[in-house]
Each structure stands twice: as C-alpha cells, then as structure tokens.
C-alpha cells in the first residue's frame, strides 16, 4: 500500500482508539459538571487514584486485572459519594462557583501528595491486558487498545441504558436539563448529586485503569487527561452524552492525526483554538443545553 | 463599623505575616558555619513529573557525602572538613528555582550550589548564585551549548555532567559494527532546541555510512508515542535513534507495536533494568542499544554505591544517582588538588584537570574539557556505558571512552 | 476627618512604614526580600482578578495577560530600545488592548463557560510563547532581560536595580500606586455600575446601561494590571520561560483563584491577605519537602468550607463586637 495512505490510515486508527479513552474520561467530567454544576478540578487525580488502586490490587493482592478494574470502579464510586457529601455539597453560605474550584484544587494537591506518599514517585505499570497487534484497515492496532475500545464502548452503552431505562437515570436527565423543574417534581438534588459523583468517579477510575495498562502510572498522570476532558466537554456541550461521545472522537482524531501531519506545536494548539472558536460561536457546545 | 474591623484585622494579619516572615529567617537559619563544615545546597524538582530524577540526584550526592563524612571528612592541610547537603525544591519553574537558590545562599549560607535539570532552572539558579559569587555546579543539561551552559562570560559556573553528544560516536561505531545493514536512520527527538545535536549526529552518521532520512519531533510531555512513531515509521527507517529522552521505554513500545523490527538506539543514561521493568511486552525488548549501565555487572565503585543505597533506602536503586555521586566526588578531588575548599580556587583547579584520567568517576577515569567548544574547560567528559538488550537479556558491552 | 477616617489613615500609615522598613527588618536577607517581591506581584494579580470577580465572573486565564505583559516588556526593552518606565506602561496597555479585542466575543459567554474559555485562552497564549522561537526564544526561553536602568536619587546616590533590595522598593511603589488606582476605580462610578450589572444584568440593560461595554472595560482594566505585574516580573526574574510548570501555566491561574477565595473576595484587601498568608505558609512549609502541596491543599479546603467569607470574614466577628459598642454611626 502507498506509504502516505498507510500512514494516514494508521493515524486515523490511532485517533479512534485514543478517542474512546478520552470519551470515558470526559463522560465522568461532563456528568459532574452538568448535573452538579461544579468544575471538579481533581477529576484527573481521581483517574490517577483509580489506576493506582488497580495497581495495588494486582501487585500486592495478586488479583486478576479485570476484576481489579471492577473493584476500583466501585471503590472510586464510593469515594465519589464521600467527596460529594463532605466536600462538594452546596450550602447557602458557600459561593456555588468558587467554592468547588478551591475545594477541588485543594483535593488535587492532597491526592497527588498522597499518591507520592503512598506509592512513591517511581513509574509503575499495570499488567498489559493483551500483547501484540492486529492489522486493521491497513494500520497496526495494539490489541490492548482495541480491548480498551471495547470496554469503553460497553461502559458508554451501560450508562446510556441506565439513563434511558431506569428511574434514577431519568431523574438525573431531568435534573441536568432543568434543575428547578426537577426539584418541583420531588427529585432530591442531593441524591442526584451523589449518584452523579459516583458515576463520574467510576468512569474516571475505568479510564485511569485502561490508560495505566496502555501507558504508565505516576502520581502526576492526571493533569493532562483532565485538560483533554475539559476540551471535550466544551466541544460536545454540557449535559450531553452524545456530545461527549462526538467530542471525544473528534479530539481523539485531532490528537492522532495532527502530530503526524503538522508536528507538536500544531498538535498542542489546534484543539484549543477549535474549542475557543466553538465557545465563542456556540457557547453551549455542539449538543449542549441551556 | 465593618471597615474598622477590617482594617484592624488587616493590621493584625500583616503584622503577623511580617513577624512570620522574619521568624522564617530565624527558624530555618542553620548556625553560622564553623570553619570545618562545607555546606552544599541542592536545587532540584522534588515535586512534579521529574521528581524521580530529583530524588535520585539528591540521594547520589548525599550518599557520597555520607561516605566522606564517615571517613572523618576531607583533610586539606591542617584542616578537616565535613560536608552537609541541604536540598530545596525547584518546583520545576524558574521562580521556584530562583527562590530555592536564594534561600540556600542567604539563609543557609551554603558554599556551593548544585542542581538543575531544565535550562530555565539553570538560568534562574545562576542568576542567584552569580550575584553572591557562590559556585554553581550544573547537574544536568539537555542542550549542551545552551545560553544557560558554561561560558567564559560566566564565572563561578561549572558543569559536572557530560554533553549528550559525547555518546554519538560510541553508539554509531557499535551500530555500524553490529548492524552493518542498517543504513537509513530516523531520529526521534523532543521538540526542544536539539537542532544542533541533530545536525551533529547527522554529520557523524554520514561519515560512517548511515543516512538520516528524517527527523520526528514530539512535544515535551508526550506520553503516547503512537502518533509520533506512525510518522517516523512512514519514512521506512532501518534504525531508529531516540534522542536523549527519559521516555525511551515508551518510545520503544510504540515503535515495536507499530511493527518496527530494526535496532533502536537510545542515547540516554536510562538503564537496561528500567527497560525491563517498564516495557511490559517481552517481544519489544530486543535490539535495543542504550547508554545505561548494566546494574547486574557493576564495577567495584558502582557496587559500593548500590550497597550504600540499599542500606539507606527502601526503593530500588536508580542509576541516575551515579552521576550525582560522581559530582560530589569530583568536587572533593578538585578540593584536594586546589588544597582549598574555596570556590574560586576549586574551579580554577578543575580547569587544570584536563589530562585524560585526571578525575576519577564511577564510570572510569575522566577529565575536564570544553575549551574548544565552550570557551572554557569547565565541562566533564568521562566514559559512557554501552549496553544492548537482546531477546529480553542484557548484554553489557562496557564503559567506552569518549573520543 | 472623622474618627474612623483617622483610624484608617493611621493604620495605612503604619502599614506603609512597615512596608518601607521590611528590608531592614529582614536584615537584608535577599531570599526573604525576593519572597516579598513575589508576594507583591501576586497581590496585584489577585486583586485585579477580583476586579473581574466583581462582575461575578471567574477568569481562569489571568496569567495569560501577565504573560503578554512579561514578554512585551522584555522585548520592548531588548529589541525596541525602550527604557523601563515606558516599557512598563506600554506592556500594561498592550495587555489591556488584547483584552479589549477579545472582550466583545468573550464576555458574551457567561459563568463556567467563561472560566473554561479564559483558561484555554491563557493556555493558547502560553503555547504560542512556548513554540514561537523567533519572537520569544521558544522552548529555549528568553534570557538576558535587562533590569531597569540605574537612577540617581538625592541622598541615595545612584541606585541600581540589579539589586534585590532596590527592586523591592520599585515594586512596592508601583504596586501601591496600582492598588490605589484599583481602589479608586472600584469606588467610582465604574465600580458602582459593575456592581449594578452583577446584581441584575437584565435590569441594568433595561435602564440603558451598555452592559457589554462596561464588562469589556472591566476586563481591560483587570488585564492592564496583570500586564503591569507581568512586566515587573520579567525585569526581576531577568529570564522568561513558558513551560507548563512556569508562572504562566494553568496551575498558577488556579492558585490565584485560591488565594483570592481564601483571603475573601468580598473585601478589597481580601485577596492581598490570602496571598500573603498562603505564600508565607508555603515558604514556611519548605521542610515538609514533598508534602508541602498537601498542607496548602488542606488549608485551602478548610478555609473555604468553614470560613465562607475567607480569612477577611473573621473580621466580621470583630466588626460585630464593635457594632454593639457604637451607637449606629454611619458608613
């Protein structure tokens, strides 16, 4: 096959694989942002701790990787509930925008220092899920990234079903779209907040665990994905699941192809400029509400 | 009413702040150094993504100083000197490095400052040390010849870390000998100012018959190298040269995952044990050439350092600490030559130690040099380890002398 | 002058005296004085951030304008041959100009979107500075930024600003003037209008206030002072770099917000108090080494959860006590 075309195809395939990972990360963030209205700046650290929990379960307790990932998601969901109840609950005397920013910043500092104290500075790795690569559409896709795609897609599907089919899911959707209206219908915003945090943190843990097995673990691994998550939720719009999906895919494709064609400067700037333009033209993002 | 409360409170807070700041002075102040202590201050990132390196260097300096202190100190003439290491966090920023250096100089009254990883840290530290004429020992540099590097216009500055391009001739010779059929090379480098090093390598490669067909650049901070290597492999290289990157392990994995089977050269001191630990795909660990030392075949000196590390620290040994150990060791060797611990005399002594073998290091005999390239003989040159990893097994080739 | 006025003047005078005497108090310890300089710069940054907060908008990209100020001032002196004071003013004006241009599209965006927008914009500025080798030195950074030229003063002879002590006084004077200006602006018609807009945007619009115009002016003024702070920083640090961990990165922007909220953004001097307290604690916690960030994080969380008005809010306790003693005098 023509070398240029092959390179392009590989780039696109890379992008799609990356995109799925980003989507899971962004999903958690967009939940918390749209339902609780807060910018959870420590989301990247939740992602990081989720990965470290898997590391601990695999290396110290010798548990199976997949099982560890599931446990980590549950643990981080519980952690999320704890965070909502004690750190992020809205109260009358607290500024609703500023307080979460400061609290989550403080939390992020504590979690990174805690990870350093608990796990040390050295890079760690989670057992690779699969070895080798497959050839797909003219490009080589590492098998573990394929598996990550499947897991992410499954998580997305489950979340979608939960929202559409279960009562709680519908209550959350209602709450996200119209807070006051939901209140009038008797939906408890605190309960909605707790569930959202739980789901958001579980998603972050999944993304962290998958990234940890594909890339690496270190206490500062959360900041870059956090920035990407922010970009995606703006691209796709708040409170929108399809938005997070499209946004994640778009960013994944950009991140997969632009470095290949243009180089690192463009790769860094392109997503930011695109998002800034979108924010200016359509502040609620591609699919956002309110 | 509220305003008066505010102003009173403000007065109270500012007064307390002033007292606290003043108290900070006395609280941290180590006592004025008696003539028999030499204080060395270190400025390294202790928090942040490069903290592992900061940790390893601090430990390397500390271990050597522990050794010399336990032997009763350094005897110069009638005096005996003990050494103290005081380490501060640069927070990987220019202001952080600057504040840390100023604290070491003005508060702790150190005699020497050592440290810095990024060029902006070196710049900031030197600005603080040069005004007080405190010698600054550069512990690491990414871009030799950068404005932050040694030069005749910068007194009280010396670099006890080798220039990365010293590794070029060593690695190229080995490459040509072991992989004679690899004639097309792609260099993959971080997008910092490595252009001169890349040009240098290209020219040197041409001399031994290797053509550099392309250069792939990636942004500093990249963790996912699949896009970069997608582009690099599109140029169909027979050998890949991953230039000076602590991320070489991830680069190797990306290259192999995308199907690259040729030799992979990583001219950075990353040890083979790091490759084996991080690269969790056994099929990738082959045909890897690195300038890291094989810790399973240490020489006497390295064995000594490793033993001391294991006795004092629980974490596994990080070979970067060897470079740091050498730095404090070389400092004391220069002090012996100068017959003084004074900074200006010590640096002057270092400048005379240019004959091959003038300095002892863990890697073999070395010397100072750099007059031709930098204008002053204030850069360390010493042998570099050469290791190959084949089918998951480390083959240590040796400590190669730099030409 | 009223009794209250006299107390305030006395307190301000005492503070001014204290500030002037600090270098002597600190025994000319260059490290401590340099910490003071950074505190002063941050006070201006955080106070001008608060100006934007008067409109109930949180900018997470304030450092972006500081970056413009820093690089512009450095380049004005290095490439255009300007001397310090014109460069200082010009870089402040440039930052304000950029804010004016960006203002119209930016300020139509509100709330959390505005915050994210400003964050990404500052990151964009930083990346441009990081990669534009020709202009800013790119990844190599900009070195050799000159200090302000020496000036001759009566009684003191020639003062060289290479020296930290002298630079402290320079910074002190500039910051004091800027803070005075901010205070006056806030109590002027402009500030009054901003508060009106904050309390009811649609209402303000309906009585004929050009809401977007006032918002843009607010943004430009805040950015002007960020630019000034940036310029002072450039000629103090004498080298600039735009790495992710540098002063111009996202993390700094967020820290500025933390300083503002911990100090208390409802009061004019709240941000200053927050900056002083947190910086001092941060330096004081140096022996904690890698655990130092944890301490700051814990303090930030505790203050913001349990002292909603920030540290300044503690004064309301004192104030209430005074209120009971007074017989209800006016403001």
- Average pLDDT over every residue of B346-356: 95
H or E element that contains B213: strand B211-218
pLDDT at residue A37 in the model: 76
In chain C, residues with a C-beta closer than 8 Å to the C-beta of A279 are 109, 113, 116-117, 120
Decide if pLDDT at A189 tops 80: no
- Cβ distance of C254 and A94 shorter than 8 Å: no
Contacts of residue B314, defined as CB under 8 A and 6 or more positions apart, other chains included, come to none
pLDDT band at B35 (very low <50, low <70, confident <90, very high): low
- Name residue, tokens 């939390």: A107
A227 interfaces chain B, CB cutoff of 8 Å: no
- The hierarchical CATH code for the domain B37-163+300-382 is 3.40.50.2300
Closest-CA distance of chain C to residue B94, Å: 7
pLDDT at residue A288 in the model: 59
In chain B, residues with a C-beta closer than 8 Å to the C-beta of C162 are 131
The residue of chain B nearest to residue A222, with distances taken between CA atoms, is B49
Residue pair C272/C263 in contact by the 8 Å Cβ criterion: yes
pLDDT at residue C326 in the model: 43
Mean pLDDT score of chain B: 89
Angstrom distance (rounded) from CA C44 to CA C176: 9
pLDDT band at B23 (very low <50, low <70, confident <90, very high): low
H or E element that contains C274: helix C270-284
Decide if pLDDT at C322 tops 60: no
Decide if pLDDT at A290 tops 70: no
| pTM summary value | 0.89
- Compare CB distances from C34 to B47, B99, B148 and report the shortest one's residue: B99
pLDDT band at B332 (very low <50, low <70, confident <90, very high): very high
pLDDT at residue B74 in the model: 93
List chains adjacent to chain B, taking adjacency as at least 3 C-beta pairs closer than 8 Å.
A, C
- Compare CB distances from C27 to B4, B25, B118 and report the shortest one's residue: B25
Closest-CA distance of chain C to residue A268, Å: 7
- Cβ distance of C257 and A272 shorter than 8 Å: no
In chain C, residues with a C-beta closer than 8 Å to the C-beta of A227 are 123, 250
Question: Quick check: do B37-163+300-382 and B166-296+386-400 share a fold?
Answer: yes
Read off the pLDDT of residues B109-157 as tens digits, 9 standing for 90 and up.
999 999 999 999 999 999 999 999 999 999 999 989 998 999 999 999 9
Read off the pLDDT of residues C147-188 as tens digits, 9 standing for 90 and up.
888 888 888 788 888 888 899 999 999 999 999 999 999 999
Contacts of residue B57, defined as CB under 8 A and 6 or more positions apart, other chains included, come to B42, B44, B115, B139, B140, B320, B321, B323, B324
- Average pLDDT over every residue of C121-146: 89
Residue pair C216/C104 in contact by the 8 Å Cβ criterion: yes
Closest-CA distance of chain B to residue A56, Å: 16
- Cβ distance of A128 and B316 shorter than 8 Å: no
> How much of chain C exceeds pLDDT 90, in percent?
53
Contacts of residue C21, defined as CB under 8 A and 6 or more positions apart, other chains included, come to none
Closest-CA distance of chain C to residue B65, Å: 20
- Name residue, tokens 């989550």: A104
Read off the pLDDT of residues A250-268 as tens digits, 9 standing for 90 and up.
888 888 788 777 877 888 8
pLDDT band at A139 (very low <50, low <70, confident <90, very high): low
Residue B211 token pair: 């053509």
Q: Which of A144, A253, A217 is nearest to B284 (CA)?
A: A144
Closest-CA distance of chain C to residue B5, Å: 5
Q: Could you state, in order of their start, the residue ranges of all structural domains in chain B?
A: 37-163+300-382, 166-296+386-400
In chain C, residues with a C-beta closer than 8 Å to the C-beta of B123 are 141, 143, 239, 241
Closest-CA distance of chain A to residue C177, Å: 28
- Compare CB distances from A107 to C111, C255, C297 and report the shortest one's residue: C297
User: Best residue in B2, B3, B6, B148 to probe C by mutation, most C CBs within 10 Å?
Assistant: B6
Q: Which of A113-127, A200-214, B142-156 has the highest mean pLDDT?
A: B142-156
User: Best residue in A42, A95, A111 to probe C by mutation, most C CBs within 10 Å?
Assistant: A95
Burial bucket for residue A137 (CB in 10 Å: 0-12, 13-18, 19+): exposed
Residue pair B268/A116 in contact by the 8 Å Cβ criterion: no
**C216 or A10, which is more confident:** C216
Residue pair C109/A280 in contact by the 8 Å Cβ criterion: yes
Pairing relation of β-strands A133-136 and B379-381? Answer: unpaired
Decide if pLDDT at B297 tops 50: yes
The residue of chain B nearest to residue A220, with distances taken between CA atoms, is B49
pLDDT at residue B5 in the model: 53
- Name residue, tokens 């003989």: B377
Q: Which of B289, B346, B320, B304 is nearest to B137 (CA)?
A: B346
Angstrom distance (rounded) from CA C233 to CA C248: 11
Mean pLDDT score of chain C: 87
- Average pLDDT over every residue of A106-117: 91
Residue A219 token pair: 């206490």
- Within a 10 A sphere around the Cβ of C5, how many other Cβ atoms? 10
Write the secondary structure of chain A as one string of H (helix), E (strand) and C (coil).
Answer: CCHHHHHHHHHHHHHHHHHHHHHHHHHHHHHHHHHHCCCCCCHHHHHHHHHHHHHHHHHCCCCCHHHHHHHHHHHHHHHHHHHHHHHHCCCCCCCCCHHHHHHHHHHHHHHHHHHHHHHCCCCECCCCCCCCEEEECCEEEEHHHHHHHHHHHHHHHHHHHHHHHCHHHHHHHHHHHCHHHHHHCCCCHHHHHHHHHHHHHHHHHHHHHHHHHHCCECCCCCHHHHHHHHHHHHHHCCCCHHHHHHHHHHHHHHHHHHHHHCCHHHHHHHHHHHHHHHHHHCCCCCCCCC
Residue pair C142/B124 in contact by the 8 Å Cβ criterion: no
**A97 or C45, which is more confident:** C45
Integer CA distances (angstroms), B353 to A263, B61, B334, C141, in order: 44, 21, 8, 33
Decide if pLDDT at A274 tops 70: yes
pLDDT at residue C230 in the model: 97
Residue pair C232/C171 in contact by the 8 Å Cβ criterion: yes
pLDDT band at C324 (very low <50, low <70, confident <90, very high): very low
Residue pair C35/B21 in contact by the 8 Å Cβ criterion: yes
Read off the pLDDT of residues B124-137 as tens digits, 9 standing for 90 and up.
999 999 999 999 99
- Cβ distance of A39 and C112 shorter than 8 Å: yes
Closest-CA distance of chain B to residue A176, Å: 34
Angstrom distance (rounded) from CA A32 to CA C211: 31
pLDDT at residue A154 in the model: 87
- Compare CB distances from A122 to B219, B228, B315 and report the shortest one's residue: B315
pLDDT band at C316 (very low <50, low <70, confident <90, very high): low
Q: Which CATH architecture has domain B166-296+386-400?
A: 3-Layer(aba) Sandwich (3.40)
> How much of chain A exceeds pLDDT 90, in percent?
17
pLDDT at residue C328 in the model: 41
- Average pLDDT over every residue of C21-27: 83
Residue pair B321/B309 in contact by the 8 Å Cβ criterion: yes
- Cβ distance of B52 and A132 shorter than 8 Å: no
- Average pLDDT over every residue of C30-46: 95
Residue pair C19/C172 in contact by the 8 Å Cβ criterion: yes
- Which range has the worst mean pLDDT, B242-251, B269-278, C213-222? B269-278
Q: Which residue ranges form the domains of chain A, and what is each CATH number? A: 11-281 (1.10.3470)
Residues 130-189, chain B, touching C (beta carbon < 8 A) = 131-132, 143, 146-148
Read off the pLDDT of residues A19-56 as tens digits, 9 standing for 90 and up.
777 788 788 887 787 777 788 889 999 999 999 999 99
- Average pLDDT over every residue of A107-128: 86
pLDDT at residue A280 in the model: 83
Residue pair C245/C251 in contact by the 8 Å Cβ criterion: yes
Mean pLDDT score of chain A: 82
Contacts of residue B109, defined as CB under 8 A and 6 or more positions apart, other chains included, come to B30, B32, B33, B39
> How much of chain B exceeds pLDDT 90, in percent?
71
In chain A, residues with a C-beta closer than 8 Å to the C-beta of C250 are 227
Decide if pLDDT at C4 tops 70: no
Q: What is the DSSP letter of B35?
A: T
Burial bucket for residue B113 (CB in 10 Å: 0-12, 13-18, 19+): buried
pLDDT at residue A59 in the model: 86
Residue A156 token pair: 């997305």
- Average pLDDT over every residue of A236-253: 78
Angstrom distance (rounded) from CA B308 to CA B331: 20
Angstrom distance (rounded) from CA C94 to CA C46: 19
- Cβ distance of B120 and C141 shorter than 8 Å: yes
Closest-CA distance of chain A to residue B222, Å: 9
DSSP string, B270-325: --HHHHHHH---GGGSSSEEES---TTS--HHHHHHHHHHHHH-SSPP-THHHHHH
- Cβ distance of A133 and B316 shorter than 8 Å: no
């Amino acid at each position: 096959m023509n070398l240029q075309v092959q390179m392009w195809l590989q780039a696109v395939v890379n992008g799609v694989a990356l995109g799925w990972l980003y989507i899971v990360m962004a999903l958690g963030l967009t939940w918390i942002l749209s339902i609780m209205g807060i910018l959870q700046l420590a989301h990247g650290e939740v992602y990081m701790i989720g990965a470290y929990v898997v590391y601990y379960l695999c290396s110290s307790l010798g548990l199976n990787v997949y099982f560890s990932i599931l446990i980590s998601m549950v643990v981080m969901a519980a952690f999320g509930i704890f965070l909502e109840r004690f750190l992020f609950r809205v109260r009358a005397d607290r500024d609703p925008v500023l307080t979460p920013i400061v609290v989550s910043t403080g939390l992020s500092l504590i979690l990174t220092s805690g990870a350093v104290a608990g796990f040390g500075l050295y890079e760690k790795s989670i057992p690779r899920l699969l070895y080798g690569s497959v050839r797909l559409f003219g490009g080589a896709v590492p098998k573990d990234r394929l598996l990550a795609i499947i897991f992410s897609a499954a998580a997305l599907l489950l979340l979608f079903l939960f929202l559409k089919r279960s009562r709680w899911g519908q209550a959350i959707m209602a709450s996200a779209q119209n807070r006051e209206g939901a209140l009038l219908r008797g939906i408890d915003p605190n309960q909605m907040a707790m569930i959202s945090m739980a789901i958001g943190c579980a998603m972050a843990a999944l993304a962290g665990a998958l990234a940890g097995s594909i890339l690496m673990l270190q206490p500062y691994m959360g900041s870059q994905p956090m920035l990407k998550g922010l970009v995606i939720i703006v691209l796709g719009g708040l409170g929108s699941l399809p938005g997070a999906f499209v946004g994640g895919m778009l960013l994944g494709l950009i991140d997969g192809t632009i470095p290949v064609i243009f180089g690192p400067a463009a790769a860094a700037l392109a997503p930011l400029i695109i998002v800034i333009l979108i924010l200016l033209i359509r502040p609620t993002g591609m699919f956002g509400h309110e | 009413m509220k305003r008066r409360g505010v102003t009173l409170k403000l007065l109270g807070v500012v007064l307390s702040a002033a007292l606290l700041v003043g108290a900070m002075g006395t609280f941290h102040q180590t006592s004025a150094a008696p003539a028999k202590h030499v204080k060395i201050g270190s400025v390294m990132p202790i928090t942040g993504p490069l903290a592992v390196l900061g940790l390893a260097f601090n430990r390397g300096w500390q271990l050597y100083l522990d050794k010399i202190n336990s032997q009763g100190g350094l005897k110069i003439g009638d005096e005996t000197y003990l050494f103290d290491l005081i380490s501060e966090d640069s927070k990987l920023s220019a202001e952080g490095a600057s504040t840390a250096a100023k604290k070491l100089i003005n508060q702790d009254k150190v005699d020497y400052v050592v440290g810095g990883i990024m060029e902006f840290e070196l710049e900031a530290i030197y600005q603080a040390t040069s005004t007080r004429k405190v010698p600054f020992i550069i512990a690491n540099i990414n871009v030799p010849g950068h404005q932050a590097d040694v030069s005749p216009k910068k007194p009280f500055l010396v670099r006890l870390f080798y220039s990365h391009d010293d590794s070029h001739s060593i690695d190229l010779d080995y490459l040509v000998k072991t992989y004679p059929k690899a004639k097309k090379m792609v260099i993959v480098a971080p997008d910092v100012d490595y252009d001169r090093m890349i040009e240098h390598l290209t020219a040197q490669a041409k001399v031994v018959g290797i053509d550099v067909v392309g250069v792939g650049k990636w942004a500093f901070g990249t963790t996912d190298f699949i896009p970069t290597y997608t582009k690099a492999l599109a140029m169909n290289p027979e050998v890949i040269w991953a230039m000076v990157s602590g991320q070489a392990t991830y680069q190797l994995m990306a290259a192999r995952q995308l199907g690259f089977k040729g030799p992979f050269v990583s001219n950075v001191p990353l040890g083979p044990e790091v490759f084996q630990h991080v690269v969790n795909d056994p099929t990738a660990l082959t045909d890897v050439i690195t300038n890291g030392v094989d810790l399973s075949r240490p020489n006497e000196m390295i064995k000594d350092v490793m033993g001391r590390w294991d006795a004092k620290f629980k974490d596994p040994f990080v070979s970067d600490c060897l470079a740091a150990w050498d730095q404090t060791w070389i400092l004391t060797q220069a002090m012996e030559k100068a017959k003084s611990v004074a900074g200006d005399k010590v640096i002057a002594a270092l400048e005379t130690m240019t004959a091959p073998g003038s300095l002892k290091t863990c890697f073999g005999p070395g010397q100072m040099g750099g007059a031709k390239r930098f204008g002053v003989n204030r850069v360390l040159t010493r042998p570099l380890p050469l290791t190959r990893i084949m089918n998951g097994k480390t083959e240590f080739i040796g400590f190669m002398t730099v030409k | 002058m009223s009794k209250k006025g006299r107390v305030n003047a006395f307190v301000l005078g005492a503070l001014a005296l204290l500030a002037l005497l600090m270098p002597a108090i600190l025994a000319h310890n260059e490290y401590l004085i340099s910490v003071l300089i950074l505190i002063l710069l941050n006070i201006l940054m955080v106070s001008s951030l608060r100006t934007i907060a008067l409109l109930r908008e949180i900018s997470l990209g304030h450092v972006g304008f500081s970056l413009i100020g820093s690089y512009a001032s450095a380049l004005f002196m290095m490439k255009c041959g300007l001397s310090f004071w014109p460069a200082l003013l010009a870089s402040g004006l440039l930052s304000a100009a950029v804010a004016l241009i960006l203002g119209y599209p930016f300020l139509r965006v509100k709330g959390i979107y505005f915050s994210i927008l400003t964050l990404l914009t500052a990151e964009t500025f930083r990346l441009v500075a990081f990669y534009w080798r020709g202009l800013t030195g790119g990844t190599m950074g900009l070195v050799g930024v000159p200090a302000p030229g020496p000036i001759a003063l009566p009684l003191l002879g020639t003062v060289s600003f290479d020296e930290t002590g002298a630079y402290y006084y320079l910074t002190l004077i500039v910051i004091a003037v800027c803070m005075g200006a901010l205070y006056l602006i806030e109590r002027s018609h402009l500030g009054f209008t901003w508060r009106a807009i904050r309390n009811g945007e649609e209402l303000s619009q309906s009585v004929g206030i050009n809401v977007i115009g006032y918002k843009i002016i607010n943004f430009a003024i805040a950015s002007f002072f960020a630019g000034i702070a940036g310029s002072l920083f450039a000629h103090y640090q004498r080298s600039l770099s735009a790495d992710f961990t540098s002063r111009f990165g996202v993390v700094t922007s967020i820290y500025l917000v933390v300083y503002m909220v911990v100090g208390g953004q409802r009061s004019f001097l709240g941000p200053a108090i927050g900056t002083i307290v947190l910086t001092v604690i941060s330096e004081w916690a140096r022996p904690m080494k890698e655990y130092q960030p944890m301490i700051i994080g814990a303090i930030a969380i505790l203050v913001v959860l349990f002292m909603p008005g920030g540290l300044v809010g503690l004064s309301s306790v004192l104030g209430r006590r005074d209120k009971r003693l007074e017989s209800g005098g006016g403001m």
